[in-house]
Chains A and B, each alone.
Chain A
């Protein structure tokens, strides 16, 4: 069992509902984001389209945050979820630097870092993470990386960080090409 996200760019419309759904669910400060939606190169599937990729923490196989954190505030659960322990955190932001995705986010009130925890309380209770449950296009999925059919997805996306750097547990479905009639 290795938890990961699937980001289905074929369905994703880049609306950022996932970002805000998470933000309100976890009561984050206005400047904080556990999830980001990136506008991708419009030629990503050949002819121009509007394409977006939503990603939070990739709960990597080799988390750069865990390696870099001086206080050992990061840990990785057996199911792969990478957790941040605010108790020992000193807010040095090393994790944010080290993470190729800049997934950890600084909390200006507690002055400590914060990061997607896969909605651990929800998933431990058998529910979906809030971003997955909240996406109006059902474009996000929580998957077991050991069970998915890798050929259905890609892990590398042009314009996005090379996943092999940290063994990112994000799989992506690229947008479908559109038959276009342009003037």
Chain B
């Protein structure tokens, strides 16, 4: 009898990622119901929904529905973080739900990539899939040839039903790890024992805010608002970034740093602070181990001049910054995920953590080295229930690196992967080295993708299954940044033939068992409401003062309190219980014991010598939203941002077609000349444009980051360490 899968924060992180969504709608255009606008009579209702995207802000939404049709959405004012306002992506939801491009029913493609699709019934789909699963089981004696690639396209807790579905069949191959943030997670685990940021609303109390390698204007607009407010109240706001982003444009001070050298800046600041005795010895004595070794390291190896040379930041600026950081209390640092997407990303985060700890800025209100948190994820993960049929001849799931998915999958031979299930993810669109991922897809007999729009991954699938939007089902949601916990209720009926991921799991289970009794243990008889009811932990109910989980729908949201100043209790979750400058766990994973400067690996070549940074795009969340026609109306073509100097050197003018190339592929995109990017680096924002084959990943390599294995099972991706050549096309 297998042990019930134990959920800890670590296993959660090691497990695959969030769910996707799918649904299909017919030709309902806005004009069909535009007559029923605010002026019309008719029953108007309001519902609470939550944006289930992988986003810091995870908004609570109030949806206005009239005659069963969504009229508009707005932010829920009951959450002081959402503050009654959404972002440009969120306001697109009514169009997303009713988009004419939504997948409406199960589809089968005659051959991957052929574009020859036919509609099939759910029964036919389940039959094809179930038969394949059973065929695999019979041939191999286990279901390891079935691979799940799932991440965070949908973070509704119920999407963990996808993992549950897989576990209910038997042992499978899982894409382990996370592309986003693992290097930094490891760092913070080594230093503090867990990722735990202070409530971002506490930034209002900060006297100084350093945003280090993050672009909240585009990725966390509600925090941008908080920062702006703090600034207007007198806080000094500093942005450190290679790019003069829309966020940095609002700073008091913008410091352009050479990509991947952030650790050097932090250490240089530490040196200055030590030289001027601005460190907090008392705090370190009481709350940390290894501070003496760290101080010794800095004094022997680091100078401000060295830091200046490494980072390109003038000595005077480093000194001023260090002085202000150490003396303006409280001072908060926001460590961005973009910053750690380098081969030395994890090491850099350790250095910044150390800077904060050196000044005793961990645990104080309005301070902190803030990165992320998962403490507010108070869920039972009931949907993830999986107690696989006991007919396996293996002991455990097989893990491959989600960040090297294509190559890893192709390398498996014992047994090889024959079936791929993709949900809450678009690997063909989002994974680096698109060519390799494509080969991986082609090597699988059956690729099933659950999604909402016909993106690149769907195009390479055999079967596509439509899933619902968040407005059509139940859910509970938490953020990895703020501390609000949201409830999500169905605002409208499920559209077309769409199903939720859990409904798909139940349907597949039923089909499997009808073909071979006992071949799947996933429950088949619960409603989504019943599933959702099982998710709120008793701890959460107690914290919120609820007797019934449904009370969350009184306000749509509830706050997880107690985190205004993270680590204020000094109870670090490290082996020593203290902040660990000196971390044996770090060393055990092959890193230095101390937060030392680690040079980024040299990935530049003579021919491909321009660093390509590929940040998140403002009009989309990876391959979601930019493809909607409303969004395309605002902006509809990809471009590369290059400095006028770089352009001049290459005879490129604004608007010219530019060829961006390296060993693994090339792109041709329009050039946009701007002084807001470094002179020696190019920037292309990653996004999926409607009817456009553009994909920046043709030139992005799957270079592993230095950390990530400890907490998430796999190293991260150094997205921003790819180098290219830039030429006029």
Q: What is A's interface to B at a CB cutoff of 8 Å?
A: 10-11, 13-17, 19-21, 23-31, 33, 37, 42-43, 48-52, 109, 121, 133-138, 175-176, 178-183
- Give the most central of A30, A52, A109: most B CB within 10 Å: A30
B658 interfacial by beta-carbon distance below 8 Å: no
- Asked if A30 and B218 make an inter-chain contact with CB atoms under 8 angstroms apart, the answer reads no
Cβ–Cβ < 8 Å partners of A23 in chain B: 91, 630
11 contacts between A and B (CB under 8 A): A13-B221, A13-B224, A15-B246, A16-B88, A17-B87, A17-B90, A25-B38, A50-B246, A133-B85, A183-B257, A183-B312
- Asked if A180 and B244 make an inter-chain contact with CB atoms under 8 angstroms apart, the answer reads yes
B86 interfacial by beta-carbon distance below 8 Å: yes
Q: Which residue of B249, B313, B631 contacts A51 across the interface (Cβ within 8 Å)?
A: B249
- Asked if A27 and B37 make an inter-chain contact with CB atoms under 8 angstroms apart, the answer reads yes
Cβ–Cβ < 8 Å partners of B71 in chain A: 27
Q: Which residue of A14, A21, A28 contacts B246 across the interface (Cβ within 8 Å)?
A: A14
- Asked if A136 and B256 make an inter-chain contact with CB atoms under 8 angstroms apart, the answer reads no
Distance to closest chain B CB from A54 (angstroms): 12
Distance to closest chain A CB from B11 (angstroms): 35
Smallest Cβ-Cβ distance to A21: which chain B residue? B91
CA distance A52 to B245 in the complex (A): 13
Known: A134-B91, A137-B221, A137-B224. Is A17-B86 also a contact (CB below 8 A)? Answer: yes
Known: A178-B252, A180-B244, A183-B258. Is A20-B675 also a contact (CB below 8 A)? Answer: no
- Asked if A31 and B633 make an inter-chain contact with CB atoms under 8 angstroms apart, the answer reads yes
Cβ–Cβ < 8 Å partners of A28 in chain B: 30, 34
Cβ–Cβ < 8 Å partners of A52 in chain B: 246
- Asked if A134 and B86 make an inter-chain contact with CB atoms under 8 angstroms apart, the answer reads yes
- Asked if A26 and B37 make an inter-chain contact with CB atoms under 8 angstroms apart, the answer reads yes
Describe A's contact surface by its main secondary structure: loop
Distance to closest chain A CB from B522 (angstroms): 37
Q: Which residue of B38, B317, B618, B675 contacts A48 across the interface (Cβ within 8 Å)?
A: B675
Distance to closest chain B CB from A45 (angstroms): 9
- Asked if A42 and B675 make an inter-chain contact with CB atoms under 8 angstroms apart, the answer reads yes
B250 interfacial by beta-carbon distance below 8 Å: yes
Describe B's contact surface by its main secondary structure: mixed
Smallest Cβ-Cβ distance to B59: which chain A residue? A136
Cβ–Cβ < 8 Å partners of A21 in chain B: 74, 86, 91
Q: Which residue of B92, B95, B217, B251 contacts A13 across the interface (Cβ within 8 Å)?
A: B217
- Asked if B675 and A181 make an inter-chain contact with CB atoms under 8 angstroms apart, the answer reads no
Known: A136-B86, A183-B258. Is A178-B249 also a contact (CB below 8 A)? Answer: yes
Q: Which residue of B33, B228, B253, B256 contacts A183 across the interface (Cβ within 8 Å)?
A: B256
- Asked if A15 and B34 make an inter-chain contact with CB atoms under 8 angstroms apart, the answer reads no
B255 interfacial by beta-carbon distance below 8 Å: yes
B225 interfacial by beta-carbon distance below 8 Å: yes
Cβ–Cβ < 8 Å partners of B73 in chain A: 24
Cβ–Cβ < 8 Å partners of B34 in chain A: 27-29, 109
Cβ–Cβ < 8 Å partners of A135 in chain B: 85
Among B236-291, those with CB < 8 Å from A are 244-258
Cβ–Cβ < 8 Å partners of A14 in chain B: 246, 618
Smallest Cβ-Cβ distance to A135: which chain B residue? B85
CA distance A53 to B244 in the complex (A): 18
Q: Which residue of B30, B92, B252, B678 contacts A179 across the interface (Cβ within 8 Å)?
A: B252
CA distance A21 to B64 in the complex (A): 13
- Give the most central of B39, B85, B314: most A CB within 10 Å: B85
Smallest Cβ-Cβ distance to A137: which chain B residue? B225
Known: A17-B91, A24-B73. Is A33-B244 also a contact (CB below 8 A)? Answer: no
Distance to closest chain A CB from B262 (angstroms): 14
- Asked if B91 and A109 make an inter-chain contact with CB atoms under 8 angstroms apart, the answer reads no
- Give the most central of B619, B630, B674: most A CB within 10 Å: B630
- Asked if B251 and A178 make an inter-chain contact with CB atoms under 8 angstroms apart, the answer reads yes
Cβ–Cβ < 8 Å partners of A49 in chain B: 244, 248-249, 676
Known: A13-B246, A19-B634, A183-B256. Is A24-B225 also a contact (CB below 8 A)? Answer: no
- Give the most central of A16, A17, A20, A23: most B CB within 10 Å: A20
CA distance A42 to B674 in the complex (A): 8
- Asked if A11 and B249 make an inter-chain contact with CB atoms under 8 angstroms apart, the answer reads no
Among B687-714, those with CB < 8 Å from A are none
B222 interfacial by beta-carbon distance below 8 Å: yes
Q: Which residue of B218, B255, B679 contacts A181 across the interface (Cβ within 8 Å)?
A: B255
- Asked if B30 and A29 make an inter-chain contact with CB atoms under 8 angstroms apart, the answer reads yes
Known: A13-B247, A133-B84. Is A181-B313 also a contact (CB below 8 A)? Answer: yes
CA distance A135 to B225 in the complex (A): 10
Distance to closest chain B CB from A15 (angstroms): 5
- Asked if A50 and B245 make an inter-chain contact with CB atoms under 8 angstroms apart, the answer reads yes
CA distance A27 to B28 in the complex (A): 13
B629 interfacial by beta-carbon distance below 8 Å: yes
Among B308-347, those with CB < 8 Å from A are 312-314, 317
Cβ–Cβ < 8 Å partners of A179 in chain B: 251-254
Smallest Cβ-Cβ distance to A30: which chain B residue? B629
- Asked if B88 and A20 make an inter-chain contact with CB atoms under 8 angstroms apart, the answer reads yes
Smallest Cβ-Cβ distance to A28: which chain B residue? B30
- Give the most central of B86, B222, B312: most A CB within 10 Å: B86
Among B78-135, those with CB < 8 Å from A are 83-88, 90-95
Cβ–Cβ < 8 Å partners of B619 in chain A: 16
